[in-house]
Amino acid sequence: MAIVSPSTDCLALLTFLICLLRCCEAGYDVGVYNPIILIPGISCPNLEARLTDAYVPSLPHCGALKGKGWFSLWNNTSDLVRHNYVSCFEEQMCLVYDSALKDYRNLPGVETHVPDFGSAHGFTSKNLDSSRKGFCMTRVLEELQLLGYRDGDTLFGAPYDPRHAPPLPGQPSQVFSDYFARFKVLVEHASKKNQDKLVILVAHSFGGMATLKFINWTPITWRKKFIKHLVLISPTLPGGFMEALTNLASGPKPLVVPTIPRLSLRPMWRTFASALLFLPSSPVFGHMPLVITKNKNYSAYDYKDLLPAIGLKTEVVERVLSMKLRVDAPMVPTTYLNGVGVQTPEQAVYWDGNFNVAPKNVYGDGDGVMNLVSVLALVNDLHRQQQANIHFKFVKIVNTTHSNIVVQEHSLKKIMYEILEANR
């Protein structure tokens, strides 16, 4: 396993230029680049809704768009307050758990889909909130275009419904199963369109974990035929991370939906399968207190008590306790980049036991969202593929946050260097 920790922007620029020189010396041009598919973080995919006659709005104005076709629901949340649509947004985004199917569905009368699947512009469009556009891989897209990549030709995108989660043992996900099937067809299409060249997958945050699960879902023979390299950029972690727990307890941070208070979003957030998936796990976090109150401390072994205490219903608690998120090494050449050296919430103090307020945090190391202990656990899991002589490289980027890793110049240069190296 190679662990790389360049410490200066000068070194990053030098390595980037060296890689470009090598590509030029090797006679690279856009005709020989491998096709790339981008998979973004959880707040980036666009989501459109359509309201049918079966929809019964809780407020009269929430039904104003009934029968008027598809409209943007998730990709431009800055309009929600201005148009007095916050309550409607929360209602129409909610999922309902079907205990018979053990799966999630929309509210009756609400239909949703992810537009522009296959296009890298499906999550970097002008309609996206300016506060989110930067960390939705816009800069990565721009750099790839400077190298000659073209959307729909050598560059593609695989956005997903951010509310759902990949299927787990005993917990199916029809939405993600359909997504994986479309993803597989997209990979095959990208390869065929480029003279059967293997495909490079570049994935950030939740997109990274979704892509790992997608690769695990495919047969080994298929991976060898179609996947050249996997570039993971700060993926959400199977060992969990502390922010996932505080988002569930007190509502998601403003970064997810910047214009709406987190407490207002909490009921909606708790209906998402994706919100329940990444709680800190006991194998990674052990008995360390995660939530501290004056009456009781809770570790990852205490979810049976903690989850009801924060207000989750019994059936949701049972569902969370049964979740077993496991990711096997993808068995394709893989590069994993993650920020370190940033204060990252490691423990949450709700001293009075009031989960309706944001906690006071105790900090450890990580990228501001992903805890270093969980990052290293994933590194250890992915490293196992080296036993089969399959490339794995871990790149630490000092003082780089989870979102800014795809924005800041020094980290962006490292990402582009690794993408170019994957093309070699």
Active site residues per annotation = 205, 367, 402
**CB-based contact 173:180 (threshold 8 Å):** no
134: which residues sit within 8 A by CB, 6+ positions away? 403, 406, 407
How far is the C-alpha of 267 from the C-alpha of 250, rounded, in Å? 10
End-to-end CA distance of the chain: 19
How far is the C-alpha of 198 from the C-alpha of 225, rounded, in Å? 7
261: left (phi over 0), alpha (psi -120 to 50) or beta: beta
- Helix extents (H) in 135-173: 139-146
How far is the C-alpha of 361 from the C-alpha of 355, rounded, in Å? 13
- Helix extents (H) in 149-269: 174-193, 206-217, 220-226, 242-250, 262-269
How far is the C-alpha of 249 from the C-alpha of 264, rounded, in Å? 12
Q: Which residues pair with 113 in a beta bridge?
A: 48
**CB-based contact 161:114 (threshold 8 Å):** yes
**CB-based contact 323:171 (threshold 8 Å):** yes
